[in-house]
Amino acid sequence: MTSSPSSQVINQNFNCCSQSFHNNTKEVLLDKLSNTSTGFHDLTIAPKITYFYDRTTELNTLSHWLIDQNARLISVLGLSGIGKTTLVKQFVDLNLQHFDIIIWKNIKLSPSLDYILTEILTSINPDSILADNKLTQILNLFRDKKCLIILDDVQELMIKGQFAGHYQSEYRDYQTFFTMITETEHKSSLILISQEKCQEMISLDQELYPVQCLDLERLQDIEILRNYGLLEQENRSRLIELYEGNPAYLNLTEHSLIITESIKLRLNQIFERLSLIEQEILIELSQDNHPVSREQLRERLSLSSIDLINGLDSLNRRYLINIIQFDQILFSVSPVIREYIKVCCHQQK
């Protein structure tokens, strides 16, 4: 199999950097890890799970990818509040024994890649850090030990007000990092938790690139409402339908579709990330209680065909629209998004 030009450049740089890695430092680091029989786990900022609802299929999928296949880059994606972080934490709690090192980081708290790499290396052995070649040190660690690194809130690396998946200029080094994770031989894994999908999260050829993507769909388990003490049995399914099985919304409501201040704040943060084109499309889609076609949207909106296509694609990458395949492709938004836009538009008038 012929390596891609980018792979060759990365591998050449990696091999060059590897030669400059101090063997003594590496030996000290690995000796410390080998003396830790239970492994090294830094889950200080990982969430504590109060309830965990039926995600058995998703847990099995993660286990297959991470333990059986040794996938190097996995993204867990979905709308805010759908349970991405909870799912990953549940997997970690159940599978501590399969990894030598597990470290959980949140981009909101420390967005700099250099800072995150320094924290990871320092937490394992503060005496082993070299000022240069931290990527090389991390990849050497990934090759010698089975590590699991979780990066939460990866959407914070992306530019607000543009289509989904475009890195802010100061965080483009993450692209190199993610590429090296997939194209360099090692036995470790990186999990990205995000509200929007970037190109690095998409596997064009799973045989060539060990990248997997788990799109988290809504919960169907009515136990979530029973635990919140909500309604009689016959009304629970209706609430799940209205709120699209999103735990972050279901624990704040009562008898019907209501946009609480907490839900509004969560959706405000999502809406602020959108480009003007996406906002325009989303507002138009919210005018209908039924799905509409791209042609119908084109007739209603003063957008070029390319802007409409890109806007719909970006909204799909953010999990804000539903795509329905009948005789033609149709688009719709959830009842929560529709009601939120109506409430916001009413308040602005």
Say which DSSP state 64 is in. Answer: I
Task: Return the SS3 of 57.
Answer: helix
Quick: pLDDT tens for 119-160. Answer: 898 888 777 666 678 898 999 999 999 999 999 999 999 999
Under 8 Å CB-to-CB from 141, ≥6 apart: which residues? 29, 101, 121, 124, 147, 188
Q: How confident is the model at residue 237 (pLDDT cuts 50, 70, 90)?
A: low
The rounded distance, in Å, linking the Cα atoms of 80 and 90 is 18
Averaging pLDDT over each range in 68-72, 115-119, 150-154, 240-244, which range is the top one? 150-154
Identify the CA nearest to 311 among candidates 326, 329, 294: 294
With beta carbons less than 8 A apart as the criterion, state whether 336 and 320 touch. Answer: no
Q: How confident is the model at residue 48 (pLDDT cuts 50, 70, 90)?
A: confident
Task: Return the SS3 of 304.
Answer: coil
Q: Which of 4-18, 47-61, 184-198, 318-332 has the lowest mean pLDDT?
A: 4-18
With beta carbons less than 8 A apart as the criterion, state whether 147 and 117 touch. Answer: no
Quick: pLDDT tens for 297-314. Answer: 999 999 999 999 999 999
Q: How confident is the model at residue 219 (pLDDT cuts 50, 70, 90)?
A: low
CB burial string 211-229: b at 16+ within 10 A, e below: bbebebbbbeebebbeebe
Q: What is the pLDDT, as a whole number, of residue 201? A: 75
- Output the average pLDDT for the chain: 81
Q: Is the pLDDT of residue 251 over 60?
A: no
Under 8 Å CB-to-CB from 276, ≥6 apart: which residues? 161
Using alpha carbons only, give the angle 308, 79, 273 rounded to the nearest 5 degrees.
55
Say which DSSP state 47 is in. Answer: P
With the C-alpha atoms ordered 159, 120, 178, 320, is the resulting torsion angle positive or negative? negative
Q: What is the pLDDT, as a whole number, of residue 234? A: 53
Q: Is the pLDDT of residue 171 over 90?
A: yes
Q: How confident is the model at residue 28 (pLDDT cuts 50, 70, 90)?
A: very low
Identify the CA nearest to 177 among candidates 318, 41, 64, 72: 72
Q: Is the pLDDT of residue 99 over 60?
A: yes
Q: What is the pLDDT, as a whole number, of residue 208? A: 62
**Which residues sit opposite 149 in a β-bridge?**
103, 190
Q: Which domains does the chain have, with CATH numbers?
A: 5-215 (3.40.50.300), 259-348 (1.10.10.10)
The rounded distance, in Å, linking the Cα atoms of 286 and 186 is 47
Using alpha carbons only, give the angle 145, 148, 176 rounded to the nearest 5 degrees.
95
Residue scoring higher pLDDT (227 or 114):
114
With the C-alpha atoms ordered 34, 37, 43, 44, is the resulting torsion angle positive or negative? negative
Q: What is the pLDDT, as a whole number, of residue 101? A: 95
Q: What is the pLDDT, as a whole number, of residue 280? A: 96
Identify the CA nearest to 184 among candidates 148, 149, 213, 141: 141
| pTM for the full predicted model | 0.80
